[in-house]
Amino acid sequence: MRIRHIATFSAAILAGALAGSLVGPRPAEAVARELIELQRDVTSLLQGQKDLSTQVTQDNTVMKTLIGQSNDTVGKLGATMSSLQKSVQDVQANSGARLDTMSTQVQGLSDNLEEIKSRLGKLNQQLVDLQNSVQSLDGKVSGSAAPAPTTGLATPTSSTGTARPASSISSPSSSILPAGAPSADTLYSNGLRDITSGKYDLALSEFQDYLKFYGDTDLASNAQFYLGEISYKQKQYGEAVAAYDKVLTNYPKSFKLGPARLRKGMALIELGQKTAGVRELREVVKRFPGSDEDRLARAKLKELGVSVTPTR
């Protein structure tokens, strides 16, 4: 467009000069000189036009090169962003798995603490029973006309007056175990170790054996809860719901009631049963206020976009 304007301007100057020379009578020499100068100017203009065209062509070439380089840079930047986004997603996935593992480990530590508390309570009760037995024996000995000499602790007597071993005072009743069956401590500890290390099939077998051999112990409800956790981690949500239900139904005094109801609600939501899952989460908020389960249930309800309490 600019070149066309220059050409038009040059033609206009030439035409004007010719017209001026024709208007007034001038000497031939002056007219020839003016024509020569005009021709020189036109030549200069044409040369300028040619130089300008060359410059525009060069500028276009440079612009094309810059645009190509920019496109390459944008493409590389897009690839870098995609790689970075994938890395972030991988980190998030790994973080979620680590948090899940840490949560299980914390549950295991909590269970161990509860087990220790339970054992301490039993030992304390056994000590009280032993003291009561010794005091009772001392009273009998003091009121007897012919006290029998004793060495160490007196041998307790049964209700019929016959002697029985002192070790039978506080020995808990237990079911008959098959030969070679592992102890309750061994089964439970191995189960916790294997579930935290991701050996779910092995942990499943160990907790099932624990319930089979030691189903009336204080930690039986924990073993049942961990059966649900294993099914949940393996995405067998139907089996997880059934296992959590057994905790809620068979162990009404278990300290796993809150976690079992929370996880049951989560499993129901994974099964697509949102209404039932929300109902369980609201029950967690209602029954266990201020607990970790309460906080997690509230967060999940917020994520689902539903209120903590049902609207009327």
At 111, is the secondary structure helix, strand, or coil?
helix
Residue 16 — very low, low, confident or very high, per pLDDT cuts 50/70/90?
low
| pLDDT tens per residue across span 205-237 | 999 999 999 999 999 999 999 999 999 999 999
Looking at the chain, the whole-number percentage of residues with pLDDT higher than 70 is: 63
Return the residue matching tokens 């003016």: 34
The model's pLDDT over 116-137, given as tens digits with 9 standing for 90+, comes to 766 676 675 666 566 555 555 4
pLDDT at residue 149 is higher than 50: no
Whether residue 249 has pLDDT greater than 90: yes
Residue 204: which residues within 8 A CB-CB, separation 6 or more?
Answer: 227, 230
Dihedral angle of Cα 228, 229, 232, 233, to the nearest 10 degrees? -150
First and final C-alpha spacing in the chain: 74
pLDDT of 30-58, one tens digit each? 778 888 888 888 888 888 878 887 887 88
Angstrom distance (rounded) from CA 190 to CA 221: 16
Sign of CA dihedral 293, 258, 116, 211: negative
Torsion of CA 288, 302, 244, 261, to 10 degrees: 20
Q: What is the DSSP string of 231-277?
A: HHHTT-HHHHHHHHHHHHHH-TT-TTHHHHHHHHHHHHHHTT-HHHH
The C-alpha atoms of residue 284 and residue 293 are separated, in whole angstroms, by: 7
The structure's pTM equals 0.50
